[in-house]
Structure 1
Amino acid sequence: MKDRDIVIADKLDAASQPRRLLFRYYKDRYAAMLLEDLLQPRLPIRTLREGRYGRLLDRPPIKALAAAKGDGWLHQNDLWRLWPSEIEIYVVTFATWGSEKSCERRWNQTSRPRRQLVLQLNFPHSHDVQYQRLILNAKNMPFNYRHHPVNQEGRNILAWARMDIDIHSGEALIEEVQNDWIRRMERHLANAVRGYGPFRKPEARENLKLYAETVMAPHVAIWSEAVLSAALHLLGQVFRTRRVWFHYFDTSCEIKNLRKKWKPPRSLYTDLPKRFCFELTDEPPEFILPAQPRCLRSRLERREGRFWRLDAEPPVIDQCL
Structure 2
Amino acid sequence: MQTDILELVLASVDVEQYYFPYKKEEYVRHFLEMAIAQNLNSKSLLKKSAFEFLLNKSAFNRLTAQSGSTHYSKENLALVKQESLKQFKVTLDRWGEFEKHRNDDWYQTSLPGENLVLQLNFDFEHDLFYRKNFKVKKWHPFVSYSHPISKKNNTMAWSRIDFNLDTGEAFIEEIQNDWLRDALSTHRKIKSTPEKKQKNHWITDYVSLEDLDQYITTLKEYNKYWSEAMLMCSIQFLLKEIGVDKIYYHTFESGNYFKKLEDCPPPKSLYTKLPQKFGFKKTKEMPQFWQEEQFLKKRIRNFEGEIFCFDFRS
Indicate the residue corresponding to 2:309 in structure 1.
Answer: 309
Q: Determine if contact 2:94/2:115 at 8 Å carries over to the other structure.
A: yes
1:107-126 matches, within 5 Å, as 107-126=106-125
1:18-37 matches, within 5 Å, as 19-37=16-34
Distance (whole Å) between structure 2 residues aligned to residue 15 and residue 57 of structure 1: 37
Indicate the residue corresponding to 1:224 in structure 2.
Answer: 227
TM-score by length of 2: 0.87
Indicate the residue corresponding to 2:280 in structure 1.
Answer: 278
Which stretch of the first structure deviates more once superposed, 96-105 or 237-246?
96-105
Aligned partner of 1:209 among 210, 213, 217: 213
Indicate the residue corresponding to 1:267 in structure 2.
Answer: 269
SS in 2 for 1:77: helix
1:40-51 matches, within 5 Å, as 40=37, 43-49=41-47, 51=49
1:180-191 matches, within 5 Å, as 180-191=178-189
Indicate the residue corresponding to 2:257 in structure 1.
Answer: 254
TM-score by length of 1: 0.86
SS in 1 for 2:117: strand
**Relative to structure 1, is the Cα distance of residues 238 and 105 closer, same or farther in structure 2, using a 3 angstrom cutoff?**
farther
Question: Which ranges in structure 1 are unaligned for 5 or more consecutive residues?
Answer: 315-321
Which stretch of the first structure deviates more once superposed, 290-299 or 31-40?
290-299
Indicate the residue corresponding to 2:172 in structure 1.
Answer: 174
Distance (whole Å) between structure 2 residues aligned to residue 80 and residue 71 of structure 1: 12
Tell me how many residue pairs correspond in the alignment: 305
- Compute the displacement of 1:291 (Å): 5.1
- Compute the displacement of 1:150 (Å): 0.8
SS in 1 for 2:162: strand
Indicate the residue corresponding to 1:12 in structure 2.
Answer: 9
Amino acid at match of 2:114: R
| 1:198 and 2:202 correspond | yes
**Relative to structure 1, is the Cα distance of residues 254 and 237 closer, same or farther in structure 2, using a 3 angstrom cutoff?**
same
- Compute the displacement of 1:228 (Å): 1.0
Aligned partner of 2:54 among 53, 56, 78: 56
Which stretch of the first structure deviates more once superposed, 235-244 or 78-87?
78-87
**Which whole-Å deviations, capped at 9, do the CAs of 1:91-127 have from their partners, x for residues lacking one?**
0010011113223451100001122111100011111
Percent sequence identity over matched residues?
Answer: 28
Distance (whole Å) between structure 2 residues aligned to residue 103 and residue 7 of structure 1: 18
Question: Which ranges in structure 2 are unaligned for 5 or more consecutive residues?
Answer: none
1:283-294 matches, within 5 Å, as 283-289=285-291, 290=293, 292=295
**Which whole-Å deviations, capped at 9, do the CAs of 1:154-191 have from their partners, x for residues lacking one?**
x1010011100112211110000000011110222123
Amino acid at match of 1:277: G
- Let me know the Cα RMSD of the aligned residues: 2.6
Q: Determine if contact 1:191/1:200 at 8 Å carries over to the other structure.
A: no
Q: Determine if contact 2:282/2:309 at 8 Å carries over to the other structure.
A: yes
